[in-house]
Amino acid sequence: MGKVRAEIDDALRAFLNAQHLFFVATAPSGDDGHVNCSPKGGEALQVLGPTTVAYVDRVGSGIETIAHLRQNGRIVVMVCAFDGAPRIVRLHGRGSVLEPNDPVFESLLSAWGTVRLGVRSVIRVEVARISDSCGFGVPLYAYEGERDTMAKWCEKKGAEGVAAYVREKNATSLDGLPGMRSSVD
């Protein structure tokens, strides 16, 4: 049976920090439009407070999460245990997009100690509902490591090439909603 929590305590923080993969889901307002679910990895989900989390958003071929957050702010983050005890945690909340020109972007990004090339934003989520369920149906998988494909792609393109890609591919969503507002270094 699932459990609803009021906040992220130390034990839940440890679980979230130990996971290498999580998923985010968003949707535009109204009856039309594409629901989006994206896998996230590399930089782990960071717990910023008892009801606040964030993650680094890297350049991609789509901009659905950012476009949906700009339109209505709704997001759910789902974290599954793929090893150890079975568990699923869902963090429902309101997300905000912090681009490189945002005053708090640099201070948040420094929490990951990440390479900046290829980072288009930091997504911060103010969590309104935390649910914890069994995860009995989630299969076991072994973590082998991070892929270096994104870093190599960014290095090959260089800062100007990545910025041009973002301007071309991340200006609007599949449904024509606004995407990135600023350029990526």
CATH number of the domain residue 121 falls in = 2.30.110.10
Query: Phi, psi (5° rounding) for residue 51?
Result: -140, 30
In a domain, 182, yes or no: no
Does 185 have pLDDT greater than 60?
no
Residues in the chain: 185
Nearest-5° angle of CA 43, CA 46, CA 52?
145
Pairing of strands 74-80, 3-5: unpaired
Range of 112's domain? Answer: 3-169
Does 158 have pLDDT greater than 80?
yes
Tokens at residue 69, please? 């957050």
Q: Write the pLDDT tens digit of every residue in 10-31.
A: 999 999 999 999 999 999 999 9
Q: Radius of gyration over alpha carbons of the chain, in Å? A: 16
CA distances from 21 to 2, 17, 124, 178 (A): 21, 10, 17, 27
In a domain, 183, yes or no: no
In a domain, 181, yes or no: no
Mean pLDDT over the full length of the chain: 93
CB burial class (10 A; 0-12, 13-18, 19+) of residue 124? buried
69 contacts 24 by C-beta, under 8 angstroms: no
pLDDT at res. 86? 95
In a domain, 178, yes or no: no
In a domain, 68, yes or no: yes
In a domain, 96, yes or no: yes
Does 157 have pLDDT greater than 80?
yes
- Which are the contacts of 164, defined by CB distance < 8 A and separation ≥ 6? none
pLDDT at res. 111? 82
Closest CA to 45 of 100, 117, 93: 93
In a domain, 177, yes or no: no
pLDDT at res. 1? 53
pLDDT at res. 181? 86
Q: What single DSSP character describes residue 139?
A: P
Q: What single DSSP character describes residue 140?
A: P
In a domain, 180, yes or no: no
- Report the number of distinct structural domains present in the chain: 1
In the chain, what percentage of residues exceed pLDDT 90?
83
As a whole number, mean pLDDT of residues 79-108 equals: 94
- Reported confidence tier of residue 112, pLDDT bands at 50, 70, 90: confident
Q: What is the pTM of this model?
A: 0.94
- Reported confidence tier of residue 51, pLDDT bands at 50, 70, 90: very high
Alpha helices by DSSP H, listed for the chain, are 10-18, 64-72, 105-109, 149-169
pLDDT at res. 116? 81
As a whole number, mean pLDDT of residues 168-184 equals: 88
Does 75 have pLDDT greater than 90?
yes
